[in-house]
Amino acid sequence: MGDCFFCKISSGEIPTEFLFEDDKVVAFRDIDPQGPFHILIIPKEHYTSIKEVKDKSLTGHMFSVGNRVAEDNNIENFRYIINTGEEAGQTVFHVHLHLIGGRRMTWPPG
Ligand code: 5GP
Ligand code: ZN
């Protein structure tokens, strides 16, 4: 996936501070945070959207990592978001799990 920005982040080609890394995923801060704490958890393998991820252990792992990073950072209340498709607000087409916390949330989302 030569031109995928998030592949370059997860492979280390673009230097980025990781809050978590293992052989499957990385977690790093969103460049345009929508709250005091906003991270993205992404698989190292390229998938355009969550619809492409058939491996349930990978999706489960992404959430486990999010839970752990939140706990490590004392974030007790947070929201997970996976925008899927342009109309839903997806702008980067390498699947990513948003974890946003540190402020009161409203519902429904816009
Ligand atoms: P989406 O809109 O696709 O759900 O979310 C893409 C997210 O990636 C946005 O929240 C945006 O701020 C973030 N983002 C885009 N480019 C970069 C980047 O180069 N570095 C980081 N850390 N986040 C990025
Ligand atoms: Zn990618």
Residue-level pLDDT, tens digit, the chain, 110 residues:
579 999 999 999 999 999 999 999 999 999 999 999 999 999 999 999 999 999 999 999 999 999 999 999 999 999 999 999 999 999 999 999 999 999 999 999 88
pLDDT at position 1, please? 59
Distance CA 60, CA 46 (A): 17
Whether 94 is a known active-site residue: answer no
3-state SS class at 93:
coil
Count Cα atoms within 13 angstroms, Cβ side, for 103. Answer: 10
pTM flag (> 0.95): yes
83 Cβ neighbours under 8 A, 6+ residues apart? 89, 90, 91, 98
Q: How many CB atoms lie within 10 A of CB 104?
A: 6
Mutate to test the pocket of ligand 1, among 4, 17, 20, 32 (most ligand atoms within 8 A of CB): 32
Ligand nearest to the CA of 15: 1
DSSP letter assigned to residue 109? -
